[in-house]
Structure 1
């Protein structure tokens, strides 16, 4: 599925790409679709973060079909997921483990390099995370957003017995709830205006769901996952003095945040952009250990040819629409 330019996409047939030195070819099992893919189609993604024409698809799972020169042949046939950022490995940020902040410039599968809305995906073997044999590849397709959730949770430095709030109960919020619940919090509340998200949030470990506001200043840790106008300010208002706030969402418009609330409240505010390798490793380990199962968050599975319908589902406001997967 190729997005030629904003507003124009088509299903094309090409010869499968061959892996080069240090690369693998992965037979795609499933690929998730998210808001950033909608931005590609609608042309609202910032120009620095997209290169047209582009095959989208940065959330995926699959099986290694072929290995290029210099890659261990025994990888063939193994179930895998993979990191999206094509980092340089030599800059200061890469060397300190923050490959998602690579100084060589932004380069990511599904945005500047061909992604997983295709039969076959080629990427550097060093970006792979090998899954256990027999892994549920349907659920594993959500390990990319799970890695972002892991980055947020690790940044929050949660301790047992703390009071935690999550702003937003979409896919990312639900994954954060599941991981945060593993830390034995005294309370795990979530707010989302979509009341239909309540059952999913509670199943993921939330102890309280509100479609309206939560008590201001009542939480040790707040994780914002919604990326809507005003949700960053909401998250900051929920934190107690001296609390910690993690922001993961990027709103489509400028969003004001009161520095007095941050400075006067002596808050620690952390931003998350994508996921570094350590967060990927954390998410994959939880998945392999059976402590994280993203599968129940999938509500729709469509053929790749139904890309247009998937986009319509993504644009809707139906609380019954969770993660949409595309199958090649």
Structure 2
């Protein structure tokens, strides 16, 4: 569906209705025409240009997401970029027309973690765009203005739709604190892994290895700055070699592998979320090796700012990761592509 189609407008040009995906429950969805509401106080309504689909959206569709992290029925879509079209009271009207992305977590701003700047650790009840609130698999999405991050006027909004996963990777990189000339490894060559390679390459590591079984992804990793590639079956020969390892695969053995690759006193950032039954980590080995392990779930505001700056400066270029762009009406097809195992499937976008 082309941009601007699928919506009705009033005589003054104000959208009256628009199309949105509604997921009633696992595997049951419809494309629905909804009223286009004006934003409330403190909110903005954005026209969605592109919205990415990730593994958590596949979980949502399949019904595998933990009950506390979803509220059906819901319009999914937490990775998106668009343009501000209307603002509620108390919001700067100069935002209208600006290209933006927005944080998904509806953090409370008042708990101790939020006030310390760790907004992704908010202790209030979980609340996130696309999971408990209407998301961006729609022509429009409404979010609190305080969650916006502004983009340059010339920004590619297709590529900017990947800034949510980029912010997650930025959080991992910030925690891992890479240093010039260090030996660094990235476990996993999916979207997160290849974005991590781009960000880490900017620190001029002495070595940047990508652990990934798919040759096509490994080649792309080299184009993004990886200096070498190892198949996971070969990686164990490099145990204890790396100063920093960023794990992004979320496979059954990837966390244990990441820790095994790390030198004594090294650092590990875990971003992948494996299915139940993943290989555990030996706490004795962690203590004896004095390994520092960071967990990453979502991204705080600071990581979003970092990712947006990297994107605006050209350090981060997510566009080559996009392989499929589909209309809202092909939502189920788009979801089926994610996690299909097809090496030709990279980032899948919905284009309202």
TM-score norm. by structure 1 comes to 0.98
CA distance in 2, matches of 1:196, 1:165: 18
Q: How does 1:143-154 map to 2 (within 5 A)?
A: 143-154=163-174
Consecutive unaligned residues of structure 2, counting only runs of 5 or more, are 1-20
CA distance in 2, matches of 1:193, 1:141: 26
Which residue pairs with 1:84 in the alignment?
104
CA contact (8 A) 1:237 1:261 kept: no
Q: Residue 3 in 1 paired to residue 27 in 2?
A: no
Which residue pairs with 2:12 in the alignment?
none
Which residue pairs with 1:249 in the alignment?
272
- Return 9-18 or 264-273, whichever deviates more: 9-18
* 1:64-116 deviation digits (Å, cap 9, x = unpaired): 01000110001000000000000111110100001111111210000100000
CA distance in 1, matches of 2:91, 2:289: 51
CA distance in 2, matches of 1:268, 1:38: 31
Bigger Rg, which one: 2
Match of 1:218 among 226, 237, 241: 241
Q: How does 1:1-328 map to 2 (within 5 A)?
A: 1-212=21-232, 213-214=234-235, 215-255=238-278, 256-328=280-352
**Moved runs in structure 1, 4+ residues, more than 3 A?**
none
CA distance in 2, matches of 1:275, 1:200: 25
CA contact (8 A) 1:197 1:320 kept: no
Report how far residue 211 of structure 1 moved.
Answer: 2.2
CA contact (8 A) 1:91 1:104 kept: yes
Report how far residue 260 of structure 1 moved.
Answer: 2.0
TM-score norm. by structure 2 comes to 0.92
